[in-house]
Homo-oligomer: A and B are copies of this chain.
Amino acid sequence: MADGRIADSMNVLAASVLAAALSTGAIDSWVKANRQAVLDELTALLSIPNVASDTANIERNAELLQKMLQLRGAKTSLLRVEGAPPAVFGEITTPGATRTLVFYAHYDGQPVVASDWATDPWKPVIRDDHIYARSASDDKGPIVAMLAAIDALRASRIPLKSNLKFFLEGEEEAGSPHLRQILEKHAALLDGDLWIFGDGPVHQSRRMQVYYGVRGVTGMELTIYGPSRALHSGHYGNWAPNPAALLANALASMRDSDGRILIAGFDDDVRPLTEREKGAIAAVPAVDEDLRRELALGGSEAGNAPIAERINRPAMNIRGIRAGAVGSQASNAIPTSATASVDFRLVPGQTPARVREKVERHLRSLGYHLTSSEPTVEERRSHPRVARLQWDEGYPAARTSMDLPIARSAVAAIGGDIIELPTLGGSLPIYIFEEVLHAPLIGVPIVNHDNSQHAANENLRLQNLWDGIRVYAALLAGME
């Protein structure tokens, strides 16, 4: 207790020093003087391809991240389980600190369709004050910002106030299939008082935000079968079932044009929002009109309902459809199969297993015989409608209480006019951290919302990088 009191008064002192330093712009000055060094480090990291299945390059990413952590004096190790990309662990012990923050980000990225990119996804380029590369925002940018925050504090002689651990995952974009196993195996090492998630974007108004939860996600690939060989659409058109038409009808029966999910009972498991959560959502600034303008949209779903409200509901998204051919490649033929890739965004109360159950019941109600692998000729012959479903593992949503003292302390340290979101639209495997480590968790994202994450031409707005360094510095040195 006595030690605690001394530490407390030291903390108050440190906090005053920090407040002064930040207010006089020490961190900003450091950033201004060190931009090129920060960009060089980010560029080196972005230059290594990072799709989770690309083992050789994933290992190169992990190797470089370890070196980057070691440069800041962190003790590092690679947390490995069989058949998974390693998680990169790092630990910086702060003398006198009584609290441990654990910083989470992932270093793997979504697959790319290189032909859709203006430049090579793994040859970062700076254009119009943005840096373009896969994972520039999601999540390599935040990792570099956190390390730069440490450099900036040290250069400004502002002491860190918490112990700091890093947990950098290597397969988040592949659905984190080994995350639970890694956390369970290394639970002691990963012990901490608050997890800080660097993943996700700031608010569309460009104001900083913290989030207390995320939507869960599950996905499926739905393939509907037609004739075993492509047929002339004249000789067989409106006799042979057309799988593209069947798929369009199946998808339309699951989700209407306005985003409403029509699958029976889909919303039954949804846990209602608390009054405090509803209040936070209502306080989120309306950016819808600007967003629609920016995205060349004449309207958004559900009669232009606010985005903050919409992302607190479940969603069904069609990622892609492939059937036959279009354009100059199109021929007058009935295709043999049609495939849709779909993801579902889940809110607290829903689970991937229950979603799967409801989707399968729905498809069966349309007359589909369902298989999980390529159906045999005999299966196709003996059922008028045959569909193959391949499910991602997926994971449920999670939502931390908005009232936790340590969370409120973090929000206070960041300062400014922060938006608080009960649930971020995107998905992270937060539920596993809750289940395995029982640690509270908040998200402190720094990257721009318009970063084309998961798509072609992903980018990070440089101003967000500079601001992010200041935000993370405030967390490391300013929390009461």
Q: How far is the CA of A450 from the CA of B305 in the complex (A)?
A: 52
Residue count of chain A within 8 Å CB distance of chain B: 109
Contact of A221 among B110, B215, B305, B327 (CB under 8 A): B327
Whether A251 is near chain B, meaning CB under 8 Å from some CB there, is yes
Chain A stretch 355-402: residues in CB contact (< 8 A) with chain B: 366, 369, 377, 380-386
Stretch at the interface among A66-74, A81-89, A289-297: A289-297
Chain B residues with CB under 8 A of A327 = 221, 322, 339, 341
Residue on B nearest A451 in the bound complex, by CB: B232
Give A394-430 interface residues, CB cut-off 8 Å to B: 424-427
A111 to B332, CA, bound (A): 10
| A321-B324 CB under 8 A given contacts A229-B452, A300-B239, A384-B299 | yes
Asked whether, in the complex, the Cβ of B330 is within 8 Å of the Cβ of A320, the reply is yes
Closest to A228 in B: B296
Tell me the A30-78 residues at the B interface (CB within 8 Å): none
Select the stretch in A189-197, A255-263, A472-480 that faces chain B.
A255-263
- Asked if A168 CB lies within 8 Å of chain B CBs, one says no
Task: State whether A317 and B256 are in contact (beta carbons under 8 Å apart), knowing that A295-B229, A332-B110 are contacts in the complex.
Answer: no
With A249-B257, A326-B340, A339-B327 as known contacts, state yes or no: A321 contacts B244, CB within 8 Å.
yes
Extra contacts, 13 of them, besides A113-B329, A238-B301, A248-B248 (Cβ < 8 A), are: A111-B329, A111-B330, A113-B325, A225-B296, A227-B297, A228-B296, A236-B307, A237-B311, A239-B311, A252-B253, A296-B380, A320-B323, A320-B325
**Interface set of A (CB-CB < 8 Å, partner B):** 110-111, 113, 200-201, 214-215, 217, 219, 221, 225-242, 244-253, 255-257, 259, 288, 292-302, 305, 307, 310-311, 313-335, 338-341, 343, 345, 366, 369, 377, 380-386, 424-427, 449-450, 452-457
A-B contact pairs, 6 of them (CB 8 A): A214-B234, A221-B327, A232-B454, A233-B454, A234-B311, A296-B381
